[in-house]
A and B are shown apart, each in its own frame.
Chain A
Amino acid sequence: MLLVFVILSMLLYLIYNLIPFNRANAIAEQYKAAYKNNPEGLEKLKLEKEIELGLKKYDENGEPQKVGIFMRYLGWLGLAPVNGQYNGILQGNFGISYQYNERPVLEVLAEPMQNTMFLNIFSVILALAVTIPLGIFCAVHRGSKRDSAIQVFTIVGYSIPFFIIAILFIWLFASTLGWFPVSGMKTPGSDYTGMQKFLDQLYYMALPLIVMTFGSLGGMTRYVRASMTEALTMDCVRTARAKGVKEKVVVYSHAWRNALIPVITLVIGWFISIFAGSIMLENIFGLNGMGKILIQSLTANDLDMVLCLELFYASIGLLGNLIVDIAYGIADPRIRVNK
C-alpha cells in the first residue's frame, strides 16, 4: 500500500509538472515595474527565486543548473535536500500556497477541510440511515408495487448527476419556495458566535447536504436491495425459516449479516466518490470546501496546493481500501485479512 502511495504521488508530481508554468517567472513578473531599467537585475531575481524554489542549483563551478524532475520530486517528498535542507512532506512541510498570500498549505486548508469533512460524513450518515432500511424493505417485499415504485425512483436517482439535482433543488427549494439560501457559507455581514454561528452555518449547509444525500440514495438503495435479495435466497435463510425463526430475526440477523459484505465495499467506494462529488457541490453552492479550493488552485497554478489536495484525495482512496479490508474481517469471520 505504501508502494502504491509512493507511485501515485510520483505520478501526480510528474503529471502536474507538465504544466508549462514557472513560479519563479511569475514572482519575478510582479517586480517587473521596479526593475524597469534593470533587466539584468530582473534576471538575477528570477534566478534567485528559482534556486530558492529548488528549480535550479549551483554546480561545482558555481554555474546555475536545472534540477532534474526526479530530484525535485525527492526534494518535495523530503528525501533529498533543497538548498541544503531536508524540508518536504515527510518533514510535515506541504509547501506554500501562493494564491493565499504565501501561507502554508496546511494552514489554508484547515477550515475548508473541516467543512468538506462535515458535509461528506454527515451526508453519508444521513444517506445510510435512509438507504439501508429502504433497501432491506425492497428486498423483503420484492416484486410488490411499492418495490417497483422505489425501483423506478432509484434508477432515476442514480442516473441523474449531482449538478442537475443541485440545480433542480436550488430551483425548487431556494428560488421557488425560498426555504434555503442559494449559496454561500454564512449570512453576509453577520457576526454570530457559538451556537448561533453553528446554526447559521447549518442553515447554509442544509441544501448541499440534502442534495448530496438525495444524490446518493438511488445507487445505494439498489445495491443494498441486490445484496439483500441474494442473501435472502441463501440456504441458511431457508433453514432459519424452516425451523420457525421469526421473520424479523431472519431478515435482520441471518440475511442482513450476509448481505453486509458487498454493502461495506460499496459504502467505502462510495465514500471516496462522494468526496469527488463534493467538488461539484462546493462549486455550485459556493461553499468554502476543498473542492472549491482545488478548482481555484488549478486555475491559479498553485502547485503545492493542488498536489496536497490530490494527495489527500488519493490517500482517502487508499485508506478506504484499507478500511474495506479491515471491515471485511469484522463483518465476516470467514475472511481474515492476514490469512
Chain B
Amino acid sequence: MAEKKKTSRKAAAPLRWLKRGVLGGSKELSPENERYDSPGKLAFKRFFRRPSACVATAVLICLFLFVFIGPIFDPFVPGYTEPMMQNVSPGYTMMSVPSELADSVKEISSYGKFSVGVNNEGKAFLWGYTGFQSGDESLEIPEEVANDKIAHIAAGADHIVAISESGKVYAWGNKRNGQFEGIGSLTESMVEEEPEELLTNGVDASQVKQLVCGNQMSAIVMNDGKFYIWGNKANGASNLNSLMRPGVGRIEKLVFTSSKVLGMTQDGKLLLLNAGSFVNYESKDGIVETMEYVGERKVVDIAAIGSSAAVLLEDGEILVLGGNANLNVPQIPEGDKAVALSGGAKHFSLLTEQGRVYCWGDNTLGQTDTPDSMTEAGAADQLFSVGFQNYAVKDGKLVEKWGHSGYLMGTDELGRSIFNRVLNGGRMTMTIGAVAVIVSSIIGIIIGCVSGYFGGKVDMALMRVTEIFGSIPFLPFAIILSSIFQGGEVDIFGMTITVTEDRRIFIIMIILGLLSWTGLARLVRGQVLAEREKEFVTAAKSMGIRERRIAFKHILPNVISVILVSMTLDFASCMLTESSLSYLGFGVKLPRPTWGNMLNGCNDAIVIQSYWWRWVFPALFLSVAVICINVIGDTLRDVLDPKSEVDR
C-alpha cells in the first residue's frame, strides 16, 4: 500500500506542473502559504508565541538547573547543625567592618552571629546579625556607650561588655541568664554574680590587660594578675570553682570554651582547672597527661574554640587539647616561629614572628580559607580570629579579612543554611514529583488504552478498578500508607521489608503514583474510545495489524496531546501532595529537606512573624515552581487543542 501511495503521488506531480504551466501559478500557492507545519511544530510555535508560557518555561528551566546542578556545589550534609548560627536573617553583614574601625583597629571580638570592635579613638562598633534575640533585649550599642570613649570591648554569645577609658564597665544585651547585673532568672548556685565593685566603681582602665567574653560568661584580667569573672557558670564555665580557689597564681590570660574556662599564669603555667577533656593530650606517641607532656616548658599563649583549646609553648610547639584534638596544626616555614594564637568559634589561627598567618580547624563556613598573601612574611602584626571570621591587622589598619560573611537566605532553627536546604529540598521535591508522575502516567496510559480499545468486559472490569482507586480519599490514604512505612521493619504478607530512609522516599513516590493515575486513565479511555471509531483504525485493522500494535502505535500517538497536558498538570499536583505530606510529617522526614517539610516547623506565630526567611523562601520556591508548571500545562492544553484556535 505504501508503494502505491508513492506512485500515485509521482504520477500527480507532472499533472500539477502541466496545470501550472498552462494556467500560471496563482499567488495563493506561494511557498510560504503552501508550507504546512506538522501539528507538533505548529503547537510548538504557538506555544512560544505566548509571553506567559515563555516566561514560565524559562523560569522552570532555571529552577530545574538550580535544584539539580546546585547540590553538586553545595551538597546536603546529613546531620549538620550549627547551634551558634540559629535563626540568622539573610544578608552578608557578618564581616562588614565599618570603615572607621578598619582604619584604626584596636580590638575586635565576636562569639558567633555578631561582632564588636573598638578603634583607637575609643569609638565602639557593632556589626553582624543583631536582630531578634530570644528576648526583647537589644544588642545595639547604647547611647551612653556611643558617647563615651571605650578602651576595651568584647562580645559573648548574647551580651556585650565594654570598659570605658574612665574605667566604667558597661554591659548590655541579654541578662536573663545572669550574664551581668545579678542572677537574672536563674538560681544563685548557677550564676557567678558580677562583682559589686565593678558595678559601682568600675576598674582602672589603664591597668586592664584583657577583657574576654564567652558563652554567657565574662572576665577582666588586670596587669597585676588580678581578675574579675562573672556570668552563667552552670552553662559557660562549669569548672569555675577551680579558678576561684586561692593559690592559682597571677593570671595572665583567661579563655572560654563553650562550657569551660582555661587560663595561663604570668609565669607561664598552664591552668587546666580540672577541665575534663583537656587533661589528656593525644600526642604522636599516644595519649599522655597534658601537664606531664608540657613539663617544665613555659606557655606563651593560649586560645580556645567551642570544644577545644590550643596551647603555644615557648619552643614553638602547639598542643591542641580536647574535642577535635586531631586538628592538623599547619606547618610553619623553617626559621619562623608562632608567637600568638587566636581562637574563633570553631577554628584556630596563629601569627608567626615574621608576620605570617595560618588557620586551621573547622572549615564548613570557610573560616580557614586563608588568602595566599597572608602566608607571606610581614603580612600582619596583629590577628583577630573571632567567631567565624578572621581579621588581620597591620600597623593598626585592617589589611585582610576572611571567613564567613553571612547567609543568602538566612538559617533555620538548627543553624542550617536555608539556601542549602532550598537547593537540596527542591531536588527532592522535584524528583519525587517527576517519578510519581511517571509511575502514574504509565499505569494510567496502559489502563486507559486497554480499557478504551478493547471495550466490553475488559472495559467494565478496568473501569470498576479505576472507580475504586478514584474514590480512595487521596490525602488520608497517602498519610495512612506512608505512616505504615515509618521506618524499621514492616511485615507485608510474610515478606519483611526493612524501611530505610531512601527506600521510604521511593515508596512515597510509588504511593503518590499509585493513587493518582485514575484521572489520566479515564481521560485516555475517553480519547481512545473516540479515536477507535476513526477510519485509519479500520484501515489498520483490515491490514491485519495486531491489536496491541494498533492500540499503542496507531491510537496512542493521537491521544498524546491529552497525556502531555495531563502529565504536566499532574506533576504540579504531585509536587504539592508531596509537600503536603512532608509538611504534615508523613512524607520525607527531617533532617532531609524538601520544600514541604521545611515549612513544617513554621506554623507558629513567632516564627511566622520574626523568622520570616524560614518560611518565605521555601514557600516562594514551591509556589513559583508550581505556578510555572501550571502555566505551561494550561498553555499546552490551549495550543494542542485545535478547537481552542476557533475559540480565540
Contact = CB atoms under 8 A, between A and B. Distances in A.
Contact of A298 (B471, B480, B583): B480
Interface stretch (B102-110, B248-256, B622-630): B622-630
Nearest to B648: A143
B626 A279 contact: no
A131 interface: no
Contact of A272 (B473, B483, B605): B473
Given A18-B490, A20-B490, A280-B583, A155 B473 contact: no
A76 to B, nearest CB: 16
Nearest to A157: B627
B140 interface: no
A316 B626 contact: no
Interface string A146-183: 00000000011011111110111011001110000011
B281 interface: no
Interface string B472-504: 111111011101100011111000000000000
The prevalent SS among residues of A at the interface is helix
A161 B603 CA distance: 14
Contact of B572 (A159, A182, A310): A159
- With most chain B CB atoms within 10 A of its CB, the pick from A294, A298, A306, A317 is A298
Nearest to A232: B647
A318 B608 CA distance: 38
From A164, A168, A229, name the one whose CB has the most chain B CB atoms within 10 angstroms.
A164
In the A-B complex, list the 4 residue pairs whose CB atoms are closest, starting with the nearest.
A276-B475, A313-B473, A159-B627, A175-B609
A195 interface: no
Contacts of B464: 4
Nearest to B579: A161
B172 interface: no
Nearest to B486: A19
B603 A20 contact: no
B623 A160 contact: yes
Given A182-B605, A295-B584, A298-B480, A314 B647 contact: no
Contacts of A310: 473, 476-477, 480
B400 interface: no
A261 interface: no
A318 B468 CA distance: 9
A309 B626 contact: no
Nearest to B606: A175
Interface in B181-216: none
B612 A171 contact: yes
A164 B647 contact: no
A294 B605 contact: no
Contacts of B604: 182
B472 A8 contact: yes
A170 B467 CA distance: 38
B626 A160 contact: yes
16 contacts: A4-B464, A4-B471, A8-B468, A8-B471, A15-B481, A18-B490, A19-B490, A20-B488, A20-B490, A163-B599, A164-B623, A171-B612, A182-B605, A298-B480, A310-B473, A317-B472
Contacts of A233: 647
B148 interface: no
B634 A155 contact: yes
Given A4-B468, A233-B647, A272-B473, A20 B489 contact: yes
Contacts of A294: 476, 479
Interface in A291-336: 294-295, 298-299, 306, 309-310, 313-314, 316-318, 321
Q: Is the interface of B mostly helix, strand, loop or mixed?
A: helix
B576 interface: yes
A313 B580 contact: no
B602 interface: yes
A8 B469 CA distance: 9
A17 to B, nearest CB: 9
A307 B604 CA distance: 30
A18 B492 contact: yes
Contacts of B584: 279-280, 283, 295
A161 B488 contact: no
A273 B474 contact: yes
A277 B479 CA distance: 12
B647 to A, nearest CB: 7
Contacts of A18: 484, 490-492
A10 to B, nearest CB: 11
Contacts of B583: 163, 280
B38 to A, nearest CB: 27
Contacts of A67: none
A275 interface: yes
B615 interface: yes
A217 to B, nearest CB: 15
B491 A20 contact: yes
A7 interface: yes
B145 interface: no
B605 A170 contact: yes
Given A160-B623, A171-B608, A182-B605, A275 B492 contact: no
Contacts of A16: 480, 484
A170 B602 CA distance: 11
A164 B580 contact: no
Interface string A1-42: 000100110001001101110000000000000000000000
A156 B634 CA distance: 12
Contact of B471 (A159, A183, A309, A321): A321
A117 B631 CA distance: 33
A79 interface: no
A71 interface: no
Contacts of B626: 159-161
Contacts of A284: 603
Q: Find the residue from B473, B583, B584, B603 having the highest chain A CB count within 10 A.
A: B473
A295 B473 CA distance: 15
A167 B481 CA distance: 27
Nearest to A295: B584
Contacts of A309: 476
B511 to A, nearest CB: 11
Interface string B611-644: 0100100010011001101110010000000000
Interface centre among B492, B579, B584 (most CB of A within 10 A): B584
B625 to A, nearest CB: 9
Contacts of A314: 471-473
B467 A4 contact: yes
Contacts of A280: 475, 580, 583-584
A16 B491 CA distance: 11
B484 A171 contact: no
Interface string A177-201: 0000011000000000000000000
B609 A171 contact: yes
Interface string B270-302: 000000000000000000000000000000000
B471 A318 contact: yes
B603 A159 contact: no
